[in-house]
Amino acid sequence: ETGVTQSPTHLIKTRGQQVTLRCSSQSGHNTVSWYQQALGQGPQFIFQYYREEENGRGNFPPRFSGLQFPNYSSELNVNALELDDSALYLCASTLTSGANVLTFGAGSRLTVL
């Protein structure tokens, strides 16, 4: 059974650019959530996708968007990057929609200069 895999592991962008982060869910999990973890903080919920539709969103602006594909893999897109977007972005999958038991990937470390 494979876990949650994320790519890239690290990347550096400049202000105003756009970034796409990718996540492959754990086998059999149909729900994926994205969290942002700033340095020294706990993860903050961005949004959740279930059956290819967003079904929950945290307090993040519209420039944070996502996709879920038929194979349950997912993307997080961030437009017009700001310095404060520098963080570890975590993807987590669950068996069903809801908070439940999350299996996290190792994250993508984004640095915005």
Partner 1 sequence: TQLLEQSPQFLSIQEGENLTVYCNSSSVFSSLQWYRQEPGEGPVLLVTVVTGGEVKKLKRLTFQFGDARKDSSLHITAAQTGDTGLYLCAGAIRSARQLTFGSGTQLTVLP
Sign of CA dihedral 52, 88, 9, 5: negative
What's the min distance (Å) between Cβ of 16 and partner 1? 28
Task: Kindly tell me which of 18 and 41 has the beta carbon lying closer to partner 1.
Answer: 41
What's the min distance (Å) between Cβ of 105 and partner 1? 5
3-state secondary structure of 83: helix
Q: How many CB atoms neighbour CB 38 within 10 A? A: 13
Binding site for partner 1 (CB under 8 A): 4, 33, 35, 40-45, 48, 55-56, 58, 90, 92, 97-107
